[in-house]
Amino acid sequence: MTLSRRHFAQVAALGLAAASFSSHPSFAARARFRLRYGTAFPSNHPAATRIAEAAEAIRKQTNGEVDLQVYPDSQLGSEPDMFSQTRSGALDFMSTSGVNQTVVPVGGINAVAFAFKTYDEVWAAMDGDLGGHVRDAFAKIGLTVMPKMLDNGYRDITSSEKLILKPEDLKNFKIRVPGNPLWVTLFKALGAAPTPINFGELYASLQTRVVDGQENPLALIQSAKLYEVQKHVTLSNHIWDGHYIFANAARWKSMPDDVRKILTEGLDAAVVKERADIKAFNTTALDEMRKAGLTINEIDTTPFRDALRASGFYADWKQKFGTEAWSLLEKYVGQL
């Protein structure tokens, strides 16, 4: 089934209504567990709409005893802010990818550049032993991680003027990246000028040319309307990006087993649906961006991978992540 942006907007409206329904007096009086879930995803992105749907399903399944409220669009703060809030217990749940790497380095291992060639490799690794290794690392700092990761998609490069087709095109290119070391070192190794900017400020930064371009998955480029302030899309697929769903461990452990089971199953079911949404949406997003006047450019990624290997990028990150984690990664993707 092909999903349109209109469909996502409709689902978002339903999802947000469901997420805010707990404010109704009858539900508020009934809820034993009032939980807040924060995300930077736009309200019309599948990662927000599917979690909102899950919140409503969980609410109904528990007869209103579990009230999971979903706040998209960085309403509760930036991703680093929400991550810190979840660690401290000020927030119950949140999802993110890169920012967690500053606290748990191995949390970013899924983002090793050009590692995952296919989604089969991604899900085998992240639903399997590699993901388990990462979840265990987060448990040591007071965070419980849900078994399945949301799909944020393969990340692609967009630019306002300069066409990016080969590594040399990135020389001195000022590109917005999330604020974590893996992204920064990746683009530095390719000769670019990586500039960390919070996602909530990205559209304005592109519009005012604070940066020359950015890199994000197609679904996010589309749902956040970044294509309105860019001219070119380079299908680099340089990083597979997923969002872990984090819960404050103390809050999680304080809830009964049956409540934790319902939450886990509900959120995992939402993730499975979201993954299918992203797969279908990518084709639609490309078509809509072409109609908006953007050029869509496919590239040979081999020269990029060779440049990273020559720069010592892979050797450096193998050392940083550690032999055990790197071996688990290469178990699924082959030698890097």
Pairing of strands 232-248, 93-96: antiparallel
pLDDT at position 180, please? Answer: 83
pLDDT at position 11, please? Answer: 40
pLDDT at position 281, please? Answer: 84
Q: What is the CATH number of the domain that holds 66?
A: 3.40.190.170
Task: State which residues form the domain around 30.
Answer: 5-333
pLDDT at position 122, please? Answer: 97
Instruction: Give exposure, 193-209, as e/b (b: 16+ Cβ within 10 Å).
Output: ebbebbbeebeebbeee
pLDDT at position 9, please? Answer: 44
Residues of the chain with pLDDT under 50: 1-24
Q: What is the mean pLDDT of the chain?
A: 90
Q: What digits encode the pLDDT tens for the residues 2-21?
A: 334 444 444 444 444 444 43
Tokens of 331: 């178990």
- CA pseudo-torsion sign 76, 105, 276, 271: negative
pLDDT at position 250, please? Answer: 98
Number of domains in the chain: 1
Q: What digits encode the pLDDT tens for the residues 65-88?
A: 999 999 999 999 999 899 999 999
Q: How many CB atoms lie within 10 A of CB 118?
A: 10
Contacts for 89 with CB less than 8 Å, ≥ 6 apart: 248, 250, 251
